[in-house]
Chains A and B, each alone.
Chain A
């Protein structure tokens, strides 16, 4: 999908640095695929990217594709701007627990802050905020 909040060329919010494994993770998002590291030793899914599996110690892993489905684990609703680039309050920062286990910090698009609820089912959408960077955001799904 196209970015809901900006038009190309004037995106002023902070961007991730596309280096190392972080660059790889966001590289998949640019292809509109949400993937997480999955240990080839024990099968444990992890996020954020790490060198080693914290469960078994293996340094073997693959970028395994997520179903993109998850549920709202918790959130905060920012009413007082805390950053000069995020002044359109109120807005919610959400913690999404994916079906595979990892949790992701993100935004929910298309649902007002008053409608958010615990365990609300969501699915990933891809917001191409710049030509280089795509952010994984979420929208309410049918459940």
Chain B
């Protein structure tokens, strides 16, 4: 049987600065071009080496990227439409592409003006139709059920009922991400520590979500470069980081978050075992996990569905600092979407690479050799990659 295990490496990472008020002052495309140039330089490559592109979910077309960057011979371009799960799922497609010789160096960018551009809560009817489908447009929107904190908090509330998950479990996730952001030079929430008391005192957004359950609205972009292990070994700047296991998964039905036979079975439920099987290692082998944290409960749910604990046991897993640096499974060591910046999941990948390169500075997980990164999008699309260094 063929496998994608260790058939591709991440060799370059790039990020912009992250912005809130007054915004980046750049187009979303410009942000992503800047991050792409930095990733190409970080890899020690030239623009002319890039011959593959994973087109981001918003902000630019394949043609835009090729024309602006000067990619004269683009041999492959494709788009994965999985919202915030797209960056990690795009690693899977990029790995397939380089492993089969369709392209040699694939650029994977993502970014947006999530602060100064159109915000999630200002989504238009046309955007709802395009991104989420006609169920959301015709059956949810007439009731004002149009924004991510609303969609996901109905799952959170049911989980809190079925498994007696306390608000402090969600708070532990917010507190951990904020703690880690203090070690990230670029984090929006650096210098603004958060206690459990602060968390519990924050106001409702969409109950049971409080303000500090919600990720940041920020401008910025990030990008990575994927190539084969042979080409990666020829680049001498950094340790190559292997895509050892990768998978995407889709909930059923994907377009209707309320009519699922089991509300807690999400894309990741299907993707995680597949990725572990490919990698030949499991959750117990991970030195860290960068978990897509659009909201706190989604982190708890993914911890459960990714197999770090049984469903319903997430609250016990996250307490007592277990998910903080120095704990048994540090999560979101850069601060995540909750406290560093919301770059659609791409910075979860760049941070995982930085940790595995042992270039994470004050927030380095000592001796990290294997780590997990997840993506979450739309109504529970999921993606998961097991990254390793040799």
Q: Are A105 and B139 in contact (CB under 8 A)?
A: yes
- Complex CA distance for A15 and B134, rounded to whole angstroms: 12
Q: Are B259 and A76 in contact (CB under 8 A)?
A: no
Any chain A CB within 8 A of the CB of B163?
Answer: no
- When distances are taken between beta carbons in the complex, the residues of chain A under 8 Å from B144 are 13, 78, 82-83, 85-86, 91, 93
Do A118 and B154 contact each other (CB < 8 Å), given the known contacts A14-B142, A77-B204, A82-B144? Answer: no
Q: Which A residue's beta carbon lies closest to that of B204?
A: A79
- Interface secondary structure of B, over-half rule: helix
- When distances are taken between beta carbons in the complex, the residues of chain A under 8 Å from B157 are 74-76
Q: Would you give the 0/1 interface string for B218-255, flagging 1 where the beta carbon is closer than 8 Å to chain A?
A: 00000000000000000000000000000000000100
- Complex CA distance for A86 and B143, rounded to whole angstroms: 8
Any chain B CB within 8 A of the CB of A17?
Answer: yes
- When distances are taken between beta carbons in the complex, the residues of chain B under 8 Å from A48 are 135, 138-139, 256, 259
- When distances are taken between beta carbons in the complex, the residues of chain B under 8 Å from A79 are 203-207
- Complex CA distance for A54 and B161, rounded to whole angstroms: 29
- Complex CA distance for A104 and B153, rounded to whole angstroms: 16
Any chain B CB within 8 A of the CB of A107?
Answer: yes
Q: Which A residue's beta carbon lies closest to that of B255?
A: A48
Chain A: how many interface residues by the 8 Å CB criterion?
35
Q: Are A83 and B158 in contact (CB under 8 A)?
A: no
Q: Are A77 and B207 in contact (CB under 8 A)?
A: yes
* CB neighbors of A among B133-161 (8 A): 134-135, 137-147, 149-150, 153-155, 157-158, 161
Q: Are A103 and B259 in contact (CB under 8 A)?
A: yes
Q: Are B206 and A82 in contact (CB under 8 A)?
A: yes
Looking at B134, B145, B263, which has the most chain A CB atoms within 10 Å of its CB?
B145
Any chain B CB within 8 A of the CB of A63?
Answer: no
- Complex CA distance for A85 and B141, rounded to whole angstroms: 10
Q: Which A residue's beta carbon lies closest to that of B260?
A: A103
- When distances are taken between beta carbons in the complex, the residues of chain A under 8 Å from B256 are 48
Any chain B CB within 8 A of the CB of A106?
Answer: yes
Q: Are A22 and B138 in contact (CB under 8 A)?
A: yes
| 6 A–B pairs (Cβ distance < 8 Å), ordered by A | A48-B256, A75-B154, A76-B145, A79-B207, A83-B141, A93-B150
